[in-house]
């Protein structure tokens, strides 16, 4: 499938999606959101893909935000409808059946930061800048930022970022837990690919269950989340991979995963 605003490639069970609107700093307009939706749906059905890397074209931006030229004339009801469409897409990415890594190559602002927040892991180039500057436009983050950002960095830091609209550097993003790794800009995609291939080499049922346990458990009281974890732990013992993994450990050999 061809996309107007994306580039899609695969290598070693890893798909790479490049948001390709460099002249607009890869800002998200409705057509790009639609392309992302279609691409993730296609990849969900591709058994040869275990991990997805999401990045932006060029050196300046991952995604600089939503396309302001599209949003400026919206009325209240239309703006809410657009927000819900983007929220649904980002929720689908967060619950995607395969691991998603954001390779943040430049500005990740507004909707771009919110897109990165929906991914499982965030790796940033040392030149990247992240933030929720919507306050400077007279609006609030509306694509999940007011909810996902506090869950990552804590409510105080999240409020500071959103109330001031100030960007954080990649180094500060690492310090506050907004990203998991910072690398030199020219090593970003290589580092993301290395991590993706490592995750792709693991038993994928267990990978999916770990992601479910973390994502769903965060919204549960601790006692309920622990029960949920035990249920998912038990599911592992109905898989061929559990039997193979434990047999390989006891026999001191490498496991041969079947993802069954």
Q: Is 260 helix (H, G, I), strand (E, B) or coil?
A: coil
Instruction: Report the distance separating Cα 123 and Cα 179, nearest Å.
Output: 6
Instruction: Report the distance separating Cα 122 and Cα 252, nearest Å.
Output: 34
Does the annotation mark 114 as catalytic? yes
Instruction: Report the distance separating Cα 61 and Cα 108, nearest Å.
Output: 7
207's tokens: 């990978």
Does the annotation mark 244 as catalytic? no
Instruction: Report the distance separating Cα 174 and Cα 178, nearest Å.
Output: 6
CB 89 within 8 A of CB 215: no
Handedness of CA 158, 163, 165, 75 (dihedral sign): positive
Instruction: Report the distance separating Cα 21 and Cα 30, nearest Å.
Output: 13
Q: Which of 114, 166, 190, 197 is catalytic?
A: 114
Q: Which of 45, 94, 134, 227 is catalytic?
A: 134
Q: Active-site residues: which are they?
A: 114, 134
């Amino acid at each position: 499938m061809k996309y107007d605003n994306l580039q899609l490639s695969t290598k070693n069970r890893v798909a790479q999606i490049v948001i390709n609107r460099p002249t607009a700093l890869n800002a998200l307009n409705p057509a790009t959101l639609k392309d992302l939706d279609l691409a993730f749906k296609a990849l969900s059905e591709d058994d040869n893909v275990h991990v997805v890397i999401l990045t932006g074209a060029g050196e300046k931006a991952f995604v600089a935000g939503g396309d302001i030229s599209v949003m400026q004339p919206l009325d209240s009801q239309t703006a809410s409808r657009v927000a819900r469409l983007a929220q649904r897409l980002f929720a689908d990415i967060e619950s995607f059946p395969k691991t998603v890594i954001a390779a943040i190559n430049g500005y990740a602002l507004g909707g771009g930061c919110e897109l990165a927040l929906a991914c499982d892991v965030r790796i940033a180039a040392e030149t990247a800048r992240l933030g929720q500057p919507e306050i400077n436009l007279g609006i609030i983050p509306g694509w999940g930022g007011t909810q996902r950002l506090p869950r990552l960095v804590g409510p105080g830091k999240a409020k500071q970022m959103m109330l001031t609209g100030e960007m954080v550097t990649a180094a500060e993003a690492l310090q506050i837990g907004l990203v998991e790794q910072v690398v030199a800009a020219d090593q970003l995609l290589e580092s993301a690919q290395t991590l993706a291939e490592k995750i792709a080499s693991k038993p994928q049922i267990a990978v999916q269950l770990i992601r479910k346990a973390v994502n769903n458990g965060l919204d549960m009281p601790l006692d309920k989340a622990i029960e949920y974890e035990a249920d998912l732990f038990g599911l592992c013992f109905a898989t061929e991979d559990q039997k193979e993994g434990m047999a390989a450990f006891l026999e001191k050999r490498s496991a041969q995963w079947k993802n069954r």
